[in-house]
Structure 1
Amino acid sequence: MGSIDALVKAGSSLGALSRTEYKSLLVVSEIYRQQEWMYNNKVHRIEHRIVNVSQAHIRPIVRGKAGVAVEFGAKISASVRDGYVFLDRISWDNFNESVDLKAQIEAYYNYTGFYPESVHVDKIYRSRANRSFCKEKGIRISGPPLGRPKANVSQELKKQAQEDERIRNNIEGKFGISKRRYSLSRVMAKLPHTSETAIAITFLVMNLSALLRQVFCLFYIYSTIKSFSASIHY
């Protein structure tokens, strides 16, 4: 960077750089600024931290999972309805998924004309704001209520909690299938919009596969009934 500044002062022009080279120069300058700011302020984090020169849009996301404390890539917010996955949000910055719950429920209302009877969510979604919103709309939100856990829980509530967790596991299973079977964990696109397109296509193919299974199931049922009816003789 010092050499480039010296060349510019000597009369050279940055216009001689290609578009890719000029973009890399801007990225490297921003990385230097961020690193210098963290050094001067004796901190180890900064907003919108750049960790890759060629993919400046990628941010480190601290997940705290076993073996992988930090992940790199897009963060998505998704929901499952009737076996189909809806990609509600894609972001390259870290965000709290719980803020999307209201928008997801309203999207469900706009799509169906009525609010869901219940929503089955992870612990992070069970905030006071989301609980109040669901209560206002007459929606049951899964999970225990806020406050100290009750000493004695009825068998009915335990059964309901198990059923809620079983239903919520659908979204976890969809993420696992998308990574293992549909290569969501191996998106090789470089640009942000091409990466987002690849992610969206992955979920589109998953939904098409689910639709195809339903069609085959209906065809199998129809064929079974038809063959059974043909074998009946009076």
Structure 2
Amino acid sequence: MTEAEETPENASEAKPNQGTLILDATCTPADIRFPTDLGLLNEAREKLDEIIDILHEANVKKQRRPRTYRQKARKDYLNVSKQKSPKKNQLRKAVKKQLQYARRNLKIVDQMLRESTDSINLLSKRQQKLITTIRMLLDQQARMYKTKIHRVEDRIVNLYQPHVRPIVRGKAGASVEFGAKVAISLENGYCRIEKLSWDPFNEANTLIESLESYKSRNGCYPEAILADRIYRNRDNLAFCKKHGIRLSGPKLGRPVAKSLMKKAEKRIERQDAGERNAIEGKFGEGKRKYGLARIAAKLEETAESMIVL
């Protein structure tokens, strides 16, 4: 094939690797209080009590208000929540009580809605959505209580933001954060969001897709990728080796002592660590100056817009 017959695709494949791509991920915490099982159940019970009041006011002449034991439930909640460090048995009993109170209230709400088909119109769309969220919350809490575990898929941590999920970070001072996880790439000083998700994900799985996006923008792969050790899995290393891309970090397997490393390897390691600081600086800039440290938006779409902006 002559140069004139060479296709653009072949030309792009022949183009040598150029540039450096820095990859990392962070969490953008939502503006919610720290969730606890006991606190969520108590809040759900109180919100259902308010809905019962609204539905009862419309039928105040027809029947008496159903008994919900709100004062007793509040007292049971405060007896444990005010303790500095309640015992596990006390906490488990308190969760069971609040779960029973909330289930009773939900059963009453369902019964009142069945008795009058027009009752649903007395509730706002937000309250109708809240009932659905509380129903899911009670199912999750009952499942965790029976199985004595503290993990469940799509766990609800806030009644008004059911899309928010716990993100385990494992960092000092914030082992778990609640918000969206964002995988970011940095190229020539410009940040791009490679993936945004409210569910936890392994950022290493975004590396190949990020490289393909880089190639579509620049016509070639980067010469080097600067990233955490988590990105150095076998699939990513094999992909980088196939396309002649250097992925920063130590080799897989047993770590090599510093004294046995060559001077060139030490120099490259120090240089990579210094250049990787740029993306940490971008995280700090976004969280300190542009509000990424606390996303105040309540709706999922609005929160994502704030993160992207």
Tell me if TM exceeds 0.5.
yes
SS of corresponding position for 2:155: coil
Partner of residue 40 from structure 1, selected from 146, 171, 195: 146
- Find the counterpart in structure 2 of residue 131 from structure 1: 237
For residues 291 and 239 of structure 2, the distance between their equivalents in structure 1, rounded to whole angstroms, comes to: 36
The residue type equivalent to 1:51 in the other structure is V
User: Contact 2:112 / 2:119 at 8 angstroms: preserved in 1?
Assistant: no
Q: CA offset at residue 8 of structure 1?
A: 3.1
Q: CA offset at residue 150 of structure 1?
A: 2.9
- Find the counterpart in structure 2 of residue 3 from structure 1: 108
- Find the counterpart in structure 2 of residue 179 from structure 1: 287
Deviations 1:5-27 (A, max 9, x none): 22134344563232111100000
After superposition, the Cα gap between the structure-2 partners of 1:14 and 1:27, relative to the gap in structure 1 and judged at 3 Å, is farther
Q: Matched residues, percent identical?
A: 45
Q: CA offset at residue 33 of structure 1?
A: 0.5
For residues 266 and 225 of structure 2, the distance between their equivalents in structure 1, rounded to whole angstroms, comes to: 17
For residues 146 and 294 of structure 2, the distance between their equivalents in structure 1, rounded to whole angstroms, comes to: 37
- Find the counterpart in structure 1 of residue 29 from structure 2: none
- Find the counterpart in structure 1 of residue 226 from structure 2: 120
SS of corresponding position for 1:184: coil
Which structure has the larger Rg over C-alpha atoms?
2
Q: CA offset at residue 185 of structure 1?
A: 1.0
Equivalent pairs counted in the alignment come to 201
Gaps of 5+ in 2: 1-105
Gaps of 5+ in 1: 202-234
For residues 101 and 183 of structure 1, the distance between their equivalents in structure 2, rounded to whole angstroms, comes to: 27
- Find the counterpart in structure 2 of residue 154 from structure 1: 262
User: Contact 2:186 / 2:279 at 8 angstroms: preserved in 1?
Assistant: yes
Mapped pair 1:188 → 2:293 = no
User: Contact 1:77 / 1:89 at 8 angstroms: preserved in 2?
Assistant: yes
Deviations 1:93-144 (A, max 9, x none): 1111110000000000000000011100111111111111111111010011
Q: CA RMSD in A?
A: 1.3
For residues 114 and 182 of structure 1, the distance between their equivalents in structure 2, rounded to whole angstroms, comes to: 32
For residues 209 and 119 of structure 2, the distance between their equivalents in structure 1, rounded to whole angstroms, comes to: 45
For residues 99 and 72 of structure 1, the distance between their equivalents in structure 2, rounded to whole angstroms, comes to: 21
SS of corresponding position for 2:200: coil
User: Contact 1:14 / 1:22 at 8 angstroms: preserved in 2?
Assistant: no
- Runs of 4 or more above 2 Å deviation: 8-15
User: Contact 2:113 / 2:120 at 8 angstroms: preserved in 1?
Assistant: no
- Find the counterpart in structure 2 of residue 67 from structure 1: 173
After superposition, the Cα gap between the structure-2 partners of 1:133 and 1:3, relative to the gap in structure 1 and judged at 3 Å, is same
Moved more, 5-14 or 72-81: 5-14
The residue type equivalent to 1:103 in the other structure is E
TM-score, normalised with respect to structure 1: 0.82
User: Contact 1:58 / 1:92 at 8 angstroms: preserved in 2?
Assistant: yes
Q: Using CA pairs below 8 Å that are at least 6 residues apart, which structure has the higher relative contact order?
A: 2
